[in-house]
């Protein structure tokens, strides 16, 4: 654990205020733009929720549709740091981590979405997660703050940058095998390397 930590406020995350959440005018075109902005915010929420679902199910095919080709990834935990560039590098990392010997549960909630323009947005998400690595008898739990940048390309919102830093993280060895009565990745995950 390090004593040097980033301040996890909007300034420290590079998040600026977006367009104001207020009506922009009384005419029909202004109303249409305001409704579109709300629909874009909902599309971004659905994008991020799909991301968490695809992580825990190792659905790499669908996950590939959620990212910009040049996505930047930077995740900082208690004893790890991932810095990746490009969709394929990230998908390969997720595919190797979420395998037949893994059980993951990641929940993203409390979104703070800032619309910067018709095609750019940012979001802050609170993560709570549990991760079991069965072949190493290892368990991690904790929470983190994600901060993302989104870009609308050809009418679809994509994750352009994604970062997180842990609020807290607990790692421990498991003393006994988990009595799993259901294990989705045990059936659908990739084979684990030793």
| pLDDT on residue 22 | 86
Rounded to whole angstroms, the Cα distance separating 43 from 65 reads 14
Q: Tell me the domains of the chain and their CATH numbers.
A: 22-188 (3.10.450.50)
| pLDDT on residue 23 | 85
Which ranges of the chain would DSSP assign to H, the alpha helix? 10-13, 28-57, 60-63, 87-97, 184-188
Higher pLDDT, 192 or 29: 29
| 2 band by pLDDT with thresholds 50, 70 and 90 | low
Q: How many residues does the chain have?
A: 194
Name the burial class of residue 34, with classes exposed (0-12), middle (13-18) and buried (19+) by CB atoms within 10 angstroms of its CB.
Answer: middle
Task: Spell out the residues 6+ positions from residue 173 whose beta carbon is closer than 8 angstroms to its own.
Answer: 137, 138, 139
Residues 119-174 have pLDDT tens digits of 999 999 999 999 999 999 999 999 999 999 999 999 999 999 999 999 999 999 99
Whole-number average pLDDT of the chain: 95
DSSP letter for 154, please: T
Q: Can you give the C-alpha Rg of the chain in angstroms?
A: 18
DSSP letter for 137, please: T
Residue range 84-105: mean pLDDT, rounded: 96
**pTM (two decimals):** 0.94
| pLDDT on residue 26 | 85
pLDDT for 194 beyond 60: no
Compute CA distances 62 → 54, 58, 158, whole Å. 7, 9, 12
**Unique residue bearing structure tokens 């909902």:** 42
Residues 23-42 have pLDDT tens digits of 888 899 999 999 999 999 99
| pLDDT on residue 5 | 85
């Amino acid at each position: 654990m390090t004593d040097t930590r980033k301040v996890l406020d909007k300034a420290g995350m590079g998040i600026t205020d977006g367009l104001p959440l207020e009506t922009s005018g009384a005419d029909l075109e202004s109303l249409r733009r305001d409704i579109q902005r709300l629909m874009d915010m909902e599309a971004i929420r659905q994008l991020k929720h799909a991301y968490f679902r695809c992580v825990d199910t190792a659905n790499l095919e669908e996950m590939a549709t959620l990212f910009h080709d040049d996505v930047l990834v930077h995740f900082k935990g208690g004893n790890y740091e991932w810095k990746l560039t490009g969709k394929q590098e990230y998908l390969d990392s997720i595919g190797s981590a979420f395998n037949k010997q893994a059980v993951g549960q990641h929940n993203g909630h409390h979104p703070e979405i800032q619309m910067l323009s018709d095609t750019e947005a940012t979001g802050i998400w609170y993560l709570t997660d549990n991760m079991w690595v069965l072949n190493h008898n290892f368990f991690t739990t904790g929470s983190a703050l994600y901060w993302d940048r989104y870009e609308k390309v050809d009418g679809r919102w994509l994750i352009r940058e994604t970062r997180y830093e842990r609020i807290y993280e607990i790692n421990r060895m498991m003393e006994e095998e988990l009595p799993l009565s259901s294990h989705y990745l045990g059936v659908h995950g990739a084979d684990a390397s030793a």
